[in-house]
Amino acid sequence: MDAITLMVTAATVAVGLFYWFVWVMGSAEQKGKRAVDLKMGTISRDKVEDNYNQYWSFFRKPKEINNSNSDEKKVPAFVDTFYNLVTDIYEWGWGQSFHFSPSFPGISHRDSTRLHEEHVADLIGAKKGMKIIDVGCGVGGPMRAIAAHSTANVVGITINEYQVGRAKAHNKKAGLDSTCDVVCGNFLEMPFENNTFDGAYSIEATCHAPKLEDVYREIYRVMKPGALYVSYEWVTTDKYHDDNPEHVEVIQGIERGDALPGLRRQDEIAELATKAGFEVVEEKDLASPPAGAWWTRLKMGRLAYWRNHLLVMVLTFFGVAPKGTVEVHEMLFDTAAHLSRGGETGIFTPMHMILCRKPIT
Ligand SMILES: C=C(CC[C@@H](C)[C@H]1CC[C@H]2C3=CC[C@H]4[C@H](C)[C@@H](O)CC[C@]4(C)[C@H]3CC[C@]12C)C(C)C
Ligand SMILES: C[S@@+](CC[C@H](N)C(=O)[O-])C[C@H]1O[C@@H](n2cnc3c(N)ncnc32)[C@H](O)[C@@H]1O
């Protein structure tokens, strides 16, 4: 083989490997977002690193946020920054539904995600002609599953403008834009009249509110009397002890890496819902047996995370992804470890389900 043939062969193999690494290995869980398309929401490329540093210094001590009135008011803006930073990485590495699901043998992640979402529709009795609100809708994975399953109309609200654009584009592509709509807004002050909705739900979203009773009160306000509301809450369980340093480290790690101003205890949720005016119909940790370990999906992804990290480093080095992307990815890598540990020790669950009714009078 002469030198030219050798060089051409080597170049072809290198291009092939690069293509395989970036386009095939780096493709999304559910196709639609690729590593080369990673943006940082609405943040301009040169501000990503700054935004990440600001986010990090604010959420470094999550418990202190609730002790300061002025910091508490800043939470929605920092949560918005967080979702600018992570939305594309979530879509790329997890899919269009930004939540966990109960794990059952023989059921794929995709199916367990869909079933967990359809369960919401069944719990609140969503039906054709009803108007349902999705509080903290992300890019709308659950909204589409619920609208398709129930044929109800769903309106989602998210604090993050970039997610609104993503959700609307996905709705259109799925042919669900006539039943699904999305608005940008704060779930603590929603742009809806009193008694608007026939049902409401929130999936792993109200954990971002500094005070759970505030968002519950706002949801109560926009619901019609007699309507049902279901929420999947992130909480610490009765196995959590704040005098155990490992427990504290794990929970703070989860709060820091997920923009949470302090996790609530599982046994507080019903009381807070009642305080907001709701009648509690049912409460259950959907992660409890017979469901298996929800965190195995996170653990199984470890090899993929390393590949992703390498990819993010290469893309940032060549200027395809903005500076700061590596740090954001590292933060997520770290939070995945804390979430897994929270699951293994049993001190944390992301699936505490509470079903409530707004009383008729
Ligand atoms: C409800 C919330 C989000 C829950 C989950 C959807 C996300 C929590 C942690 C995220 C991830 C961690 C590791 C990332 C990995 C390093 C990367 O390569 C690919 C994406 C991850 C798997 C990412 C995906 C989404 C999560 C599982 C919170 C915010 C209230
Ligand atoms: C973890 S994501 C879950 C998204 C969606 N429920 C899902 O399961 O795919 C949390 C969502 O809550 C939204 N959120 C957080 N704080 C909010 C606020 N104050 N007002 C409106 N939305 C908020 C975020 O923008 C994000 O869309």
Residue nearest (by alpha carbon) to ligand 2 atom 7: 98
Whether 152 contacts 122, CB under 8 Å: no
Residue spans of the domains in the chain: they are 30-361
Instruction: Report whether residue 258 contacts ligand 1, using a CB cutoff of 6 Å.
Output: yes
What's the 205 CA to ligand 2 centre distance in angstroms? 4
Whole-number Å distance between alpha carbons of 238 and 52: 33
pLDDT band at residue 28 under the 50/70/90 scheme: very low
Which ligand is the nearest neighbour of the Cα of 254? 1
> What is the residue whose two structure tokens read 């080369």?
36
pLDDT in tens, 43-82: 888 888 889 999 998 888 776 776 677 788 889 999 999 9
336 alpha carbon – ligand 1 mean position (Å): 7
Average pLDDT over residues 290-306: 86
pLDDT for 304 equals 81
For the segment 24-47, the average pLDDT, to the nearest whole number, is 69
Instruction: Please indicate whether residue 82, judged by its CB atom, sits closer than 6 Å to ligand 1.
Output: no
Assign 16 a pLDDT band (cuts: 50, 70, 90): low
Confidence of residue 293 (pLDDT cuts 50, 70, 90): very high
Q: How far is the CA of 140 from the centre of ligand 2 (A)?
A: 10
ipTM of the complex: 0.99
Range of lowest pLDDT (92-96, 270-274, 317-321): 317-321
Among protein residues, the one whose CA lies closest to atom 13 of ligand 2: 136
Question: What is the third-level CATH fold of 30-361?
Answer: Rossmann fold (3.40.50)
Does the pLDDT of residue 342 top 80, yes or no? yes
Of the listed ranges 15-29, 115-129, 196-210, 330-344, the one predicted with least confidence: 15-29
pLDDT of residue 17: 65
Percentage of the residues of the chain whose pLDDT score is greater than 70: 93
Cα–Cα distance, 70 to 67 (Å, whole number)? 9
Position with higher pLDDT, 303 vs 270: 270
Indicate the average pLDDT of the chain.
91
What are the pLDDT digits (tens) for 228-258?
999 999 999 999 999 999 999 999 999 999 9
Structure tokens at 125: 């009795």
What pLDDT does residue 23 have? Answer: 56
Distance 192 CA to ligand 2 centre (A): 17
**pLDDT exceeds 90 at position 220:** yes
CA of 137 to the centre of ligand 2 (A): 5
What are the tens digits of pLDDT across the range 160-201?
999 999 999 999 999 999 999 999 999 999 999 999 999 999
Ligand 2-lining residues (CB < 6 angstroms) = 76, 79, 83, 97-99, 136-138, 141-142, 157-160, 163, 186-188, 203-205, 208
